[in-house]
Amino acid sequence: MTKPIPKTQLIEDVMRQLRRMVKALHAYSSEVEARFGLTGPQLWALWTIQQQGPAGLKDLAQAMHLHPSTVVGVVDRLESKRLLLRKPDPTDGRRVRIVLTAAGRRMVAQAPHPAQGQLIHGLQAMRRDEVAQLHETLSRLVAVMEADGLEARFFFSDE
Amino acid sequence: MTKPIPKTQLIEDVMRQLRRMVKALHAYSSEVEARFGLTGPQLWALWTIQQQGPAGLKDLAQAMHLHPSTVVGVVDRLESKRLLLRKPDPTDGRRVRIVLTAAGRRMVAQAPHPAQGQLIHGLQAMRRDEVAQLHETLSRLVAVMEADGLEARFFFSDE
DNA sequence: TTAAAATCGTTTGCGTACCAATCATCCCAC
DNA sequence: GTGGGATGATTGGTACGCAAACGATTTTAA
């Protein structure tokens, strides 16, 4: 290797790629919205409900790794689009059973893979060893990020 | 390799790690907010202004890869915190010159690396070849994601 | 020179996303 | 059984983030 790329530049590039990844995800979401009138999270919620069957709002929030109060809004909008219903739970007055309507099921059937579907597709298009490699390096990265507290980061406050 | 992990599971894991990464970033942002009263985007904006010197709102938005209308709000909040000022541009009545106040400069000096700082720190903690690997696999992934249009994705709507 | 086009910042409207607080209901210990 | 804590859904408040529309200003073109 005659001229190794400096690590700094590699880091810059990785950052740039992550940004591009997020951007590609958003672009995908916009396309879905234009075509089906559903935002990414909405389609994602619909899809999750279909996968898991009728469930409470909290279950849905947990499955989507979102805060319940966030999901309330998403479910509201889906309900006003007549794609799902809130039914009272007969056995527990606090709970709500969220069920798809026929239109909701139809939508899930014809819409593309939800949310990170594009990302999954991208991963599927890669060779197995590439995915394994990504898995390994990401594990390391996440481990480091989760490990250290804020204190450790005060020593590199400038570029 | 006697029992290879199925590719499907690797993909699941990668997705999970990306989610964890986003979560770790958010946790970092919360810590910064608790300590300095600045959200991630606010600190990021402040930092960008310091790096680039006084600039128009559009320049700032471009540097941050954000929509101008988004940046207006961020700048509003920073201005109400007396960390920056909007000054009219003497040569062009449409433009605004965004400049840091003394308090703003002080804040940038003492606050930790903005925004994706934690991510960068995580990358710095990794070996060079690991970063290179991540760079390579991410390149592939982003390329695939950007390459195909929506049409190509209608054929795997279930799973 | 003056009318048309482009640019800049802002406002408005929508949709996430979080937290804290609230309200109803359930459940458990007593 | 009943009172008190736990739990589930919602509301209200704040902050992003985008697109579209709007005024003020500048630049370009006729």
Residues B58-86: pLDDT tens digits?
Answer: 999 999 889 999 999 999 999 999 999 99
Span B45-60, average pLDDT: 92
Span B32-52, average pLDDT: 89
Please state the pTM of the whole predicted model. 0.77
Does B128 contact A28 at a Cβ distance shorter than 8 Å? no
Amino acid at A134: L
CB burial of residue A24 (10 Å; 0-12, 13-18, 19+): buried
Query: Residue A93, CB, less than 7 Å from strand C?
Result: yes
Q: Is B35 on the interface with A (CB under 8 A)?
A: yes
Is residue B117 over pLDDT 70?
A: no
Give the bridge partners for B86, in sequence order: B98
Q: Which residues of chain A neighbour B118 with C-beta distances below 8 Å? A: 145, 153
CA pair distance A149, B30, nearest whole angstrom: 12
Q: Which residues of chain B neighbour A150 with C-beta distances below 8 Å? A: 28, 31-32, 35, 112
Give the bridge partners for A97, in sequence order: A87
Query: Residue A41, CB, less than 7 Å from strand C?
Result: yes
What is the reported pLDDT for A96?
Answer: 96
Is residue B130 over pLDDT 80?
A: no
CA pair distance B124, B13, nearest whole angstrom: 23
Q: Which residues of chain B neighbour A25 with C-beta distances below 8 Å? A: 145
Which domains does chain A possess? 7-156 (1.10.10.10)
Amino acid at B88: P
Is residue B14 over pLDDT 50?
A: yes
For residue B102, name the pLDDT band (cuts at 50, 70, 90): very high
Average pLDDT, chain B: 79
CA pair distance A90, A28, nearest whole angstrom: 39
- 3-class SS letters over chain A: CCCCCCHHHHHHHHHHHHHHHHHHHHHHHHHHHHHHCCCHHHHHHHHHHHHHCCECHHHHHHHHCCCHHHHHHHHHHHHHCCCEEEEECCCCCCCEEEEECHHHHHHHHHCCCCCCHHHHHHHHCCCHHHHHHHHHHHHHHHHHHHHCCCHHHHHHCCC
Nucleotide nearest to B68 (CA to C1'): C9
Is residue B44 over pLDDT 80?
A: yes
Neighbours of A7 (CB within 10 A): 16
Span B107-131, average pLDDT: 72
More confident residue, B148 or A24: A24
